[in-house]
Chain A
Amino acid sequence: MEKPQRNWDTKRVQKAQRLAKISNLMTGKYVETNQIITVLEALIAPGDKVVLEGDNQKQASFLSQSLNLVNPKKVNHLHMIMSSISRPEHLDIFERKIASKIDFSYAGAQSVRVSQMIEDGKMKLGDIHTYLELYGRLFIDLIPNVVLVAADKADKAGNLYTGFNTEETPTIVEAAAFKDGIVIVQVNEVVDELPRIDIPAGWVDVVVPADKPYELEALFTRDPQNITELQILMAMMAIKGIYAEHGVQSLNHGIGFNTAAIELLLPTYGASLGLKGKIARNWVLNPHPTIIPAIESGWVESIHSFGGEVGMEKYIAARPDIFFVGQDGTMRSNRVLGQIAGQYAVDMFIGSTLQLDYDGNSSTVTRGRLSGFGGAPNMGHNPGGRRHSTPAWQSLRDQDNALGKGQKLVVQMVETYGANKKPIFVENLDALAVQKQAGLANAPVMIYSEDTTHIVTEEGIAYLYKATSKAQRQAAIAAIGGVTPLGMTSTKESLDQLRHAGIVKLPEDLGIKRSDAKRSLLAAQTIDDLVEWSDGLYEPPMKFRTWS
């Protein structure tokens, strides 16, 4: 058998060569804080694929700031791979020509600058992904040469504790650790003994104490004072017309005031309908403070979280029956597993959006911004690979199809007019213009019409999965479109027909009185109420406190 001669361990050899360059700077796996730039210049080669953490919550800010200070003559043309482009310096590395290409998932906090830089050619876009797609590619064709991550603590051997904010760090590290990539970790603290080991030292190459703790922002805290009566009305309809109707046991709530209202109505309105124990028991959810009353009232059996939320640490540590808490007493979050659960293992996703077209396709992009997808499309689609049946999933089955199966509930909740008094329903999504502007292969739709099973507006619910044609689908959406241009196309006859067929339900069809939609129905009306519900364990971040 003839075959070309080759070495099969070139990556291993190269890694050893790179690490050898800094062997004089290392004590075990540790390098000193002030040596970080030398270390980065030695370990990162031009053209490398580099993951920079860039999670949704946690940011390896010391490493990203240091990366900006390397010599572009030594380190350049990097291909960055990032879950979330969150901080200005994530883009500064492109201005400085340290990096040239990027594959990412979410860029909400930097979406305008990302859009500008791609348009100007300062940043070449690989592609925009959902979280799971990006993590998957770390093991296929975006295998990183170097990963720059953050951990809370490390011990002398280099074992890592990522704790409450573990997020996707273990997966990022795994992709490098088992493919001869180099793993560089910034830590807040070095200790003799870790509370627990989240990532073993054998996966880690270099540990550097950071100059200050990694950046973390509160993203999922919503002040109940900002929930409006309209949102309460919609939440009541969702609970009765969808959760109860289909028997939704397991779910994910997208972040927003609409879902916060639902969370706060379970202990009150939900209880009045006798639904406790019958719905909303198992959750995949970031630790929304607004879920506290439902937990305390006995609605919630379990919550798995993608990441942490500032202020919720002590509360969660005191509720190990509900959350995923280690033997050390702190929560472990995991975005990768949470996203998988949210995709395959729950009955329903419910969230809000900024724009819907007349068919029900939805998008959150607007012109001049490239915010990416994050996890919403993972949650907000019907996974073709699902096989196991639950009552809610099965309730959407097409009974006429012998080979039929159930469907995941994907619900969009929107008011007919947005805060800017512009209709939420548009003929053409801005996503189409963004596709052209950014040179994307496809329009960045967040959730497609064919995956959307229900739409809730303040007018009522459209049970889109029951529509038998595209025209009927549009008519159902128009019937709850209020006085928007789309809504004005709906006639009384059409509405009555759809109500008769059970495809559209108004509050009166659900037995809901609009005047019951009062803020007093919320289990908690202020942040202080949430603190009280939690027996003082919830510690709201500064900006949410009312007494400062």
Chain B
Amino acid sequence: MEQLAYQYQTSQPISKRVHVGVVGSGDLEILMFPTDKSESTVKVRTGSDGFDKVWGNVLTRFFDRYPISADIVINDFGATPGVVYLRLTQAMEELADEK
């Protein structure tokens, strides 16, 4: 089990809580909470050790394109980076829906 933590300087606060993804092998759950800071924190709980750098890459790309400010918790169950990015962008779409 690993707990990874990341921080990004961002500019677009989210307006509501978001929950995407599923608890299941090969998948992950993402919970986003609004924050009043101009930064995002990400906590990743994962059973797949050693993917620190890969998580960093995926999150950096995500925040590059979508600089949202939120406190984010991710529960990972062995998802590939493609699935992680899918869920992150799905979270974005959920946010965009109600704007």
Contacts and interface: CB of A to CB of B under 8 A. Distances in A.
Interface of A: 228-230, 233, 415-419, 421, 457-459, 482-484, 488, 492, 507, 513-515, 517
Interface in B46-72: 48, 54, 57-58, 61, 64
A488 B81 CA distance: 13
B5 interface: no
B57 A230 contact: no
B83 A230 contact: yes
Given A415-B80, A417-B80, A417-B81, A514 B86 contact: yes
Nearest to B55: A483
Contacts of B36: none
Given A514-B93, A515-B90, A515-B93, A459 B57 contact: no
Given A415-B80, A483-B57, A458 B85 contact: yes
A364 B64 CA distance: 34
A482 B93 contact: no
Interface string B22-56: 00001000000000000000000000100000100
Nearest to B64: A492
Contacts of A458: 82, 85-86
B93 A459 contact: no
B10 interface: no
B2 interface: no
Nearest to A423: B81
Among all A-B residue pairs, the 4 with the closest Cβ atoms? A417-B80, A483-B57, A458-B82, A515-B90
A139 to B, nearest CB: 46
Question: By CB atoms of chain B within 10 A, which of A417, A484, A488, A507 has the most?
Answer: A417
B54 to A, nearest CB: 6
A515 B98 CA distance: 14
A513 B93 contact: yes
Contacts of A419: 80
A229 to B, nearest CB: 7
A483 B54 contact: yes
Given A415-B82, A482-B82, A483-B57, A514 B89 contact: yes
Given A488-B57, A513-B93, A514-B86, 20 more contacts: A229-B83, A230-B82, A230-B86, A233-B86, A415-B80, A417-B81, A419-B80, A421-B48, A421-B80, A457-B82, A458-B85, A459-B82, A482-B85, A483-B58, A483-B61, A492-B64, A507-B89, A514-B89, A515-B93, A515-B94
A237 to B, nearest CB: 12
A404 B72 CA distance: 53
A513 B20 CA distance: 14
Contacts of A484: 81
A382 B58 CA distance: 36
A239 B74 CA distance: 32
Interface string B87-99: 0011001100000
Contacts of A230: 82-83, 86
A507 B80 CA distance: 19
A229 B86 contact: yes
A285 B90 CA distance: 34
Nearest to B51: A421
A487 to B, nearest CB: 8
A492 B61 CA distance: 9
B8 to A, nearest CB: 15
Nearest to B21: A229
Contacts of B26: 228
A416 B86 contact: no
Nearest to A508: B89
Question: By CB atoms of chain A within 10 A, which of B20, B57, B86 has the most?
Answer: B86
Question: By CB atoms of chain A within 10 A, which of B58, B64, B78, B80 has the most?
Answer: B80
Contacts of B90: 514-515
Contacts of B94: 515
Contacts of B58: 482-483
B81 A483 contact: yes
Given A492-B64, A515-B90, A416 B81 contact: yes
A75 B54 CA distance: 59
Given A483-B54, A483-B57, A483-B61, A416 B82 contact: yes
A341 B42 CA distance: 53
Given A421-B80, A488-B57, A514-B90, A459 B64 contact: no
A419 B25 CA distance: 12
B77 to A, nearest CB: 13
Question: By CB atoms of chain A within 10 A, which of B48, B78, B93 has the most?
Answer: B93
Nearest to A418: B80
Contacts of A517: 86
Contacts of B93: 513-515
Contacts of B89: 507, 514
Nearest to B81: A483
A416 B20 CA distance: 21
B59 to A, nearest CB: 10
A433 to B, nearest CB: 25
A175 to B, nearest CB: 46
Question: By CB atoms of chain B within 10 A, which of A233, A457, A484, A513 has the most?
Answer: A513
A18 to B, nearest CB: 59
Given A483-B61, A492-B64, A459 B85 contact: yes
Contact of B81 (A482, A492, A513): A482
